[in-house]
Amino acid sequence: MDLQLNGKVALVTAGSKGLGKATARQFAREGTKVAICARSELVDKAAVEIESETGTEVLAMRADVTQAADIERVINTTVEKFGRLDILVTNAGGPPAGTFDDIDVAAWEAAINLNLLSAVHLVKSALPHLRQSSAAAILTITSTSTKQPVQNLVLSNSIRLAVIGLTKTLSQELGSDRIRVNSILPGWTYTERVEELISARIAKSGTTKEAEIAAINANIPAGRMGTPEEFANVAVFLCSPAASFVNGVMLQVDGGSNQGIF
């Protein structure tokens, strides 16, 4: 299938590793010009790796998505470099693990800035450019915790629901501008973030890494965690003109682990 992405321009935030990097790589494989940003120097390494593998130019920028000025700079630099912006993927690292008693108010505020307000600022800055595209798409990356709370993740369970509300609202408000807005709700996907969550579980329960992975896999009908590449394949399709009539969808990519009907 031709996803009709050749020559399009996509910005993927938190693109230095994990789901963001895998998504950026898959866009590049489809001939999409890609901009990625992250706080650390790993973003430069990721860009070199993707360019080397795909032959597609990748723009790397160091930025903190909790800072509105950084977001505006990233959007402007992307458009200055490539002349347009067609696709925005709002991605950010997950907030710290912990129960309600573990988490103080400062951590709540930081998580809101990281996972909700970053998406708000990104969309605000990108909209003037997306409105000029004939095939614009916004994709928010949230979590299946919005469907079924995950143990020891009160911040993610709470704040990502707000991102879902934002996504659904934008899909309605921006439809007349020919901008599609969807979200992917990834389940357990083996990334650096999941390794951190497993370590947090081990510290709390005193189990082993093997035991924690086995417990997670036991609750996934597919019998295993997903890979970043499997997530990226779905993300790139949803953002592509091949999915031109898909709007306002909250798509679970979780191997069937969520047991709810809706």
pLDDT digits (tens, 9 = 90+) for 122-162: 999 999 999 999 999 999 999 999 998 988 899 999 999 99
**Domain coordinates in residue numbering, the chain:** 9-187+227-251, 190-225
Residue 84 has pLDDT above 90, yes or no: yes
Beta-bridge partners for 12: 36, 89
Report the mean per-residue pLDDT for the chain.
Answer: 94
Listed residue (165, 192, 16) closest to 94, CA to CA: 192
**pLDDT at residue number 150:** 87
Residue 110 has pLDDT above 80, yes or no: yes
Q: Please say whether the beta carbons of 34 and 23 come within 8 A.
A: no
- Alpha-carbon Rg of the chain, whole angstroms? 18
Q: Convert the pLDDT of each residue in 176-224 to its tens digit.
A: 999 999 999 999 898 888 888 888 888 888 889 888 888 888 889 999 9
Contact residues for 8 (Cβ-Cβ < 8 A; gap 6+): 32, 33, 86, 87, 135
**pLDDT at residue number 229:** 96
Which residue type is seen at 245? F
Helices (H), 5-134: 18-29, 42-54, 68-82, 105-112, 118-130
> Distance between CA atoms of 27 and 44, rounded to whole angstroms?
17
Q: Convert the pLDDT of each residue in 27-46 to its tens digit.
A: 999 999 999 999 999 999 99
Q: Convert the pLDDT of each residue in 115-125 to its tens digit.
A: 999 999 999 99
Residue 236 has pLDDT above 80, yes or no: yes
The superfamily (CATH) of domain 9-187+227-251 is NAD(P)-binding Rossmann-like Domain (3.40.50.720)
Residue 261 has pLDDT above 80, yes or no: no
Tokens describing residue 260: 């709810």
**pLDDT at residue number 211:** 85
Report the percentage of the chain scoring pLDDT > 70: 100
Residue linked to tokens 């898959």: 26
Q: What is the mean pLDDT of residues 55-60?
A: 96
Vertex 23, ends 36 and 40: CA angle to 5°? 35
